[in-house]
Amino acid sequence: MSPFKASLGIAVVMMSVGTAAAPQEPSFNAQSNVVLVPTLVRDAGGKVVYGLQAKDFIIEDDGVEQVPYLDEGAEAGPVSVIIAVQCGRRARREFDRTRGLAAMLDAVLSQPDTETALVFFDSKLTLARDFTNNSKIIEGDLKNLEAGDNGAAILDAVAYSVKLLNQQPEGRQRVLLLISETRDHGSHFAKLDGVVKLIGVANVAVYALPFSPYVSQQLDAARGSNQDEWGTQVDIIEKLAAARQAMRSNTPRELASMSGGEYQLFASRKAFETSMNSFANHVHSRYLLSFEPKSPRPGLHQIRVRLKDPARIETVLFRSNYWAGSADQ
Asked if the structure places residue 3 within a domain, the reply is no
Pair 318, 226: CB distance under 8 Å: yes
Q: State whether the Cα torsion 281-284-289-292 is positive or negative.
A: positive
Question: What is residue 223's three-state secondary structure?
Answer: coil
Task: Quick: pLDDT tens for 277-294.
Answer: 777 777 778 888 999 998
Q: What distance, in Å, lies between the first and last C-alpha atoms of the chain?
A: 31
Residue 91 neighbours by CB distance under 10 Å: 25
| DSSP for 77-137, written as a single string | S-EEEEEEEE-SGGGGGGHHHHTTHHHHHHHHHTSTTEEEEEEEESSSEEEEEEEES-HHH
Does residue 7 register a pLDDT over 50? no
Residue 16 has a pLDDT of 33
Task: Quick: pLDDT tens for 146-186.
Answer: 889 999 999 999 999 999 999 988 778 888 999 998 888 88
Domain that holds residue 132: 9-324
Nearest to 130 by CA among 141, 116, 142, 140: 116
Asked if the structure places residue 2 within a domain, the reply is no
Kindly report the pTM of this predicted structure. 0.75
Mean pLDDT, the chain, as a whole number? 76
CATH code for the domain of 108: 3.40.50.410
Give the chain's domain count.
Answer: 1
* Rounded percentage of the chain residues whose pLDDT exceeds 70: 75
Residue 139 has a pLDDT of 82
Asked if the structure places residue 15 within a domain, the reply is yes
Centroid of chain to Cα 229: 21
For residue 96, which amino acid is it? D
Residue 76 has a pLDDT of 59
Q: Which residue has the higher pLDDT, 44 or 15?
A: 44
Residue 66 neighbours by CB distance under 10 Å: 18
Asked if the structure places residue 329 within a domain, the reply is no
| DSSP for 252-273, written as a single string | HHHHHHHHT--B----SHHHHH
Asked if the structure places residue 121 within a domain, the reply is yes
The helix or strand, by DSSP H or E, that contains position 155, with its residue range, turns out to be helix 154-166
Q: Which of 17-21, 70-74, 262-266 has the lowest mean pLDDT?
A: 17-21
Nearest to 315 by CA among 280, 278, 269, 277: 278
